[in-house]
Amino acid sequence: MDDLHPNCVRINAILAEAGLPGRVRILPEAAPTAVAAAEQIGCSVGAIANSLVFASAENEPILVLASGAHRVNTTAVASYLGTATLKRATPEFVRAATGQVIGGVAPIGHPAPLRTLLDVDLAQYDEVWAAGGIAHAVFAIEYGQLLKLTAAEAIEIS
């Protein structure tokens, strides 16, 4: 494990500190999309928790953990948040907010806590898979554990 990327080490430490059994798994190929991750893991694309960073009208980072089977309804989510608009963040904005790059953003391990929304449709899966801090890394976690670990707000996002 000494050769793990520092982001993966950070994710593993957070999971261990929370008493959770999951650990980062390195995939043979990068998995920058839910489809690519699901194919390598061997799970339903809906069980992938995509970490999508958006910028509110006030330029606040918002992390949406969306089922890989869904697109985020940005109008509805913006309304829920009480912001005029919600737009996909630039790669630079994502890196500044999360310390990670698009395609590998984990739901945890950021420099500071982010307001996080969790897709309620992920609750139907016994385990969901989230990015582990780099495009080649994932980890499994139960929905309830992810909700608690991220202090997320569970909402319908699609």
Write out the chain's pLDDT in tens, 158 residues.
Answer: 458 999 999 999 999 999 999 999 999 999 988 999 999 999 999 999 999 999 999 999 999 999 999 999 999 999 999 999 999 999 999 999 999 999 999 999 999 999 999 999 999 999 999 999 999 999 999 999 999 999 999 999 98
Domains of the chain: 6-155 (3.90.960.10)
- Whose CA is closest to 33, among 125, 135, 157? 135
Position 63 scores a pLDDT of 98
| Residue that the structure tokens 């992938």 belong to | 48
Structure tokens of 147?
């909700």
pTM of the model: 0.95
- β-pairing, 115-119 with 61-67? parallel
Residue 12 near residue 28 (C-beta atoms within 8 A): no
Instruction: Looking at 18-153, list the stretches that DSSP marks H as alpha helix, in order from N- to C-terminal side.
Output: 34-41, 74-81, 91-98, 143-150
